[in-house]
A and B are shown apart, each in its own frame.
Chain A
Amino acid sequence: MARVDLAIIGAGPAGMAAAKMAADKGLSVCILDEQPRAGGQIYRDVDRVAPLRGDLLGKDYTEGRALTQGLGAPGITHLAGAVVWAIEEGPRLACTQVGKGALIDARHVLLATGALERPMPVPGWTLPGVMAAGAGQILLKQSGVLARRAVLVGAGPLLYLIAAQMVRAGTPPLAMVETQTRNDFTGALRHLGGALRGWRYLLNGLGLLNEIRRAGVVRHTGAHSIAITGAGRAEAVEFIAGGKAHSIACDTVFLHHGVVPNTQAARSVGVPHRWDAAQHCFVPELDGWGGTSVEYLHIAGDGAAIGGAKVAAIAGRLAALDIAARLGAIKTATRDSEAVPLRRALDGELAVRPFLDTAYPPLPEALSPADKTVICRCEEVTAGDIRGYARLGCIGPNQTKAFGRAGMGPCQGRYCGLSVTQILAEENRQSHDATGYYRIRPPLKPVTLGELAAMDDGAGAAE
C-alpha cells in the first residue's frame, strides 16, 4: 500500500469517528482493526447484529451504526482482521492479516485501541467459567450466546447493563454480587452536581436497575472476601455481604470492577504515562488534542482515559482535526472553530464520570490480592510471589518480570501489569509513578516466526 496520510489503529468509536473526520478534511486514511467487522467492543459487529437483536441490546448499541457507516466515505480503507504488532519510526506499522505480514507507511498515526477490563484477581478467577463481564456482553452481542446460570460480581454501570440485557433475553443472572458500599455512594454525592449535568446517564442507569429489580434478580451490595470455587471449573461464588457468608452455585461468573486504558501500543513507542488516582490506572500524557510527545502519534478514546463511547467519538474527531491541521489539510483556525462545539459536548459527556468513579470504586482486595491469588494468568505468578521479589530488592515491574516471569506470557502483561505496579508500590512504599510499568515491546500481539521471516528482505539478518 502506498503511504497514507493517517493510519488509525482500532475501529471502535474513537477510531471510526476520527477516520470519518479525517477523510472529510481530505486525508487518506487506513483504519486497521483486529476484528472481522468494525465497531470495537462497545459496538461489536453492530451492522450485522443490530437487525438480529438490537431490541435486546438497546439504542446505546444500535446507534453505533452511524459510525460504522461513516467508514464507507471515500478516502477510507478499512483493513479488517489486521493485527498491528509493531509501530516503528517512519511511522511504519507492521501488521499481520490472514496469516500474512504487511507494512503500512503513514504520515501520522492515531491510536484508538480502547480499554481493557480492569484485572480483578480474586481466588479462583482463572477457572474456566469465570470471565470478564465485558466478555459476557461480547458473547451476547456478537454471538447471541448467553450464560444460563451466571452470577455477576463487582461494581460499575456495565454490570447493570449486562444484567438488564440478560433479563431482556429471558435468562436473568442468578444474582448480582456488588462490591460498592454505602460509603462509596455517600462519598460520590459530592460529585452529584456534575452527575446531574450528565443526567441522561443517571436516568439510563436507573432504568436498568428497574429492569433488574422487576425481574427479581437478587442484589448483594458491599460484598467482600470474594472467591470462586470449583473443581476444574467455576461451580460457586463465595463472599461475605451484610455480615453473612454466602455461597451461590453457578456455572458462570462475570467479573467487573471498571475498565482501564489499553496502553500497550502507546507504551511500545515510549509515550510517557502518569498515574491517574481518580481512575486508578495509568493514562498517557496528552495535549488537549490527544497529541503525544511522539511527534507522529495521537491517542483518542478509552485508550487515552476512560470516558465511554460518546466521549471516545468526540475525542476521535478532535484528534482528527488536529492531525489534519498538522498535515496541512486545514488551517489552525478551522481546527479551532470546529473544535468549539465538540469540546462543549465533551464536557457534558464527561460530567458524570467523577460521580461514577467514586460510587463504583475498584475492589480493594482485588487491587492488592492475598498472597496466594494468581495475578499473572499467563505464567501463574501470585501476589505473594511479587511481594517476595520486592523483598529481594525489586523496585519496579521489569525486575519482577525478570525474577518471576509475571508479564512474560502472550498477554504481555495486559492482565497483570496494574496489579504488579500496585503491589510493588505498596511493598516499597513508593508512588505508582515511581514504581512504573512494564517496558512494552513488539510484538504487541504474538506473530508466527513464519510470518516474520516472510517479511525478511535480507537486510536485517544477524551477522
Chain B
Amino acid sequence: MEADYTIIGGGVVGLSIAWGLLNKGRRVIVLDGEDGSFRASRGNFGLVWVQSKGMAQPRYARWSQTSAAAWRGFADRLGDATGRDVGLEQNGGYDLHFSEESLAARVKDYEGLKARLGGDYPYEVLGQNALHKEEPGIGPKVVGAILHHQDGHANPLRLLRALADDVRRRGGRVLTGRMVTDVTNAALFTVTCADGTVVRSTKMILSAGLGAMTLGPRLGFIAPIRAQRGQVLITEKLPKMINRPSLIARQVDEGGIQIGATNEEVGLDDRVTQPGLSGLAAKAIAAFPALARAQLVRSWGALRVLSPDGLPIYQQSDTMPGAYLVTCHSGITLAAAHATILPEWLEGTDKAPDLEVFSEQRFAV
C-alpha cells in the first residue's frame, strides 16, 4: 500500500491534517490504534479557545486565534460534506473568577498580551451584575468574568466522527486497530504494524498523541511530551441553563453539562477518583448553584498530551527528512489550522506559516 503521506495517529490531530492534505490532492494513509488506546480525542473538553493561551509566547496566542478564525469555514465544509453539524458555537467564552484579586491579576496579564498582539485581543470584563444578565444561572460566589469574544466550543466527538467520515469520503485510507511497530526510511518510508500491515509513503507524520513518547525518539525527534490527567464530568441532559462555555462548565449541544477538569501529574493513569470528582462538582456548583440537583451520569479521566512549555510541537526530523512530528494539547482549537494551514507547511509551499517558534529547537540544551 502506497501513498504520499502516512499519518500515524487517527485522532483529531491526525485526521485534521489528513483532511487538509487530501484537499490538496495528496494520497493519504492514516494508521489508527486500538479501541482502548489513550485517546485525547475522545476525552477532551471541546473548547475552541483563545484566552489564556500563549501568555508567555504571543505566537501561540496568534496561532490559536488564526485557528479559531478558520474554524467556522472548516466546520461548515465538514458539515456540508457529512450532513452532520459539529456543533460549533463561537459566541465568546468566560474565565470565571471567585475573587476580585484573581480577576484583576488576570486582566493585567491580558493587557500585557493584548499589547504584544497589537491590540487584537477582544475581551471585556463583566462584573457580577453584567455577568448575571448574560448567565442567569451564575451563583453569588462568582465575582466576575472575563468574556473573550474569540472563544467558543464545538462537539468534539461529532468532529471526530465527521473527520473519520469525510477523510474516507475524500479518498483517504484509514486503517484502524493498527499498532505501529517499525518505521524505516530508504527511498520511501516503510511503516510496519503489529498485524503485519506494511505501508509506504514519501512523507510521514507522527501525530500519535502520547504514542509519540515511544515512537518519536526512534524517528529522530526529542518528543519531550508527557501525560497530564484531566478528570471530566458530564450530567444528564438538561434544559438550556448555561449560555457560554467556561473552563469550569459548558452545556454541550445534546444538553448535558460538561464539567472540567483536574490537572494531575499521575503518568499514564487515566482513572477517575472520588476526591477528583467531588472537587470538580463543588467548583461547578459554586459557579452554577442549580447544578447541585443535576445527576452526574458519566465521568472519565483523559490524558493531556503536553510538551514542557505546553505549546505545540511542529518539527521535521533531522535524521529522517520527510518525517514530521505534530503534537499539541489543543487538538480541537487547532483543528482548523491543522486542516487548512498546516498542509502548506508540510508541503513547503510559499503559503507555509512560520512555525519556527514551535520547533523542538526550544528544548535542545
Contact = CB atoms under 8 A, between A and B. Distances in A.
Any A–B CB pair closer than 8 Å? yes
Interface of A: 86, 88, 92, 94, 103, 389, 392-399, 402-405, 408-410, 412, 436, 439, 441-443, 446-450, 452-463
Shortest beta-carbon contacts, A-B, top 8: A396-B35, A460-B275, A450-B292, A461-B279, A452-B281, A460-B279, A456-B278, A453-B282
Contact of B272 (A408, A442, A463): A442
B287 to A, nearest CB: 11
Contact of B174 (A103, A393, A455): A393
Contact of B278 (A402, A410, A455): A455
B157 interface: yes
A398 B254 CA distance: 19
A395 B39 CA distance: 14
Interface string B301-312: 100000000000
Given A399-B35, A453-B282, A456-B282, A392 B260 contact: no
Given A393-B168, A393-B174, A403-B160, 19 more contacts: A88-B273, A393-B32, A395-B34, A397-B35, A398-B36, A405-B157, A439-B36, A442-B272, A443-B296, A443-B297, A446-B236, A448-B293, A448-B294, A449-B259, A452-B278, A456-B278, A456-B281, A461-B279, A462-B260
A408 B298 contact: yes
A455 B36 contact: no
Interface of B: 10, 32, 34-36, 39, 41-42, 157, 160-161, 164-165, 168, 174-177, 233, 235-236, 254, 259-263, 271-285, 291-301
B300 A441 contact: yes
Given A393-B164, A441-B272, A398 B235 contact: no
8 contacts: A398-B36, A442-B274, A447-B295, A449-B292, A455-B278, A460-B273, A462-B262, A462-B283
Given A403-B157, A409-B297, A455 B274 contact: yes
Contact of A394 (B176, B272, B276, B277): B176
B168 A392 contact: yes
A402 B10 CA distance: 14
Contact of A459 (B164, B254, B275): B275
A426 to B, nearest CB: 16
Contacts of A396: 34-36
Q: From DSSP, what is the main secondary structure of chain B's interface residues? A: mixed
A271 to B, nearest CB: 14
Contacts of B263: 462-463
Nearest to B262: A462
In the complex, which of the residues B177, B259, B284, B294 has the most CB atoms of chain A within 10 Å of its own CB atom? B177
A457 B296 contact: no
B261 to A, nearest CB: 6
Given A88-B274, A461-B279, A462-B263, A402 B161 contact: yes
Contacts of A397: 35
Contact of A403 (B10, B161, B281): B161
Contact of B277 (A405, A410, A439, A452): A452
A398 B35 contact: yes
B295 A448 contact: yes
Nearest to A435: B35
B285 to A, nearest CB: 5
Given A441-B300, A448-B292, A448-B293, A395 B176 contact: yes
A395 B299 CA distance: 23
In the complex, which of the residues A412, A441, A452 has the most CB atoms of chain B within 10 Å of its own CB atom? A452
Contacts of A463: 263
Nearest to A457: B275
Nearest to B301: A441
In the complex, which of the residues A412, A457, A460 has the most CB atoms of chain B within 10 Å of its own CB atom? A460
A449 B291 contact: yes
Contacts of B276: 460
Contacts of B294: 448-449
B260 A453 contact: no
Contacts of B274: 86, 88, 92, 94, 103, 442, 455, 460
A65 to B, nearest CB: 35
B35 A392 contact: no
A103 B272 CA distance: 16
A243 to B, nearest CB: 42
A442 B277 contact: yes
A390 to B, nearest CB: 10
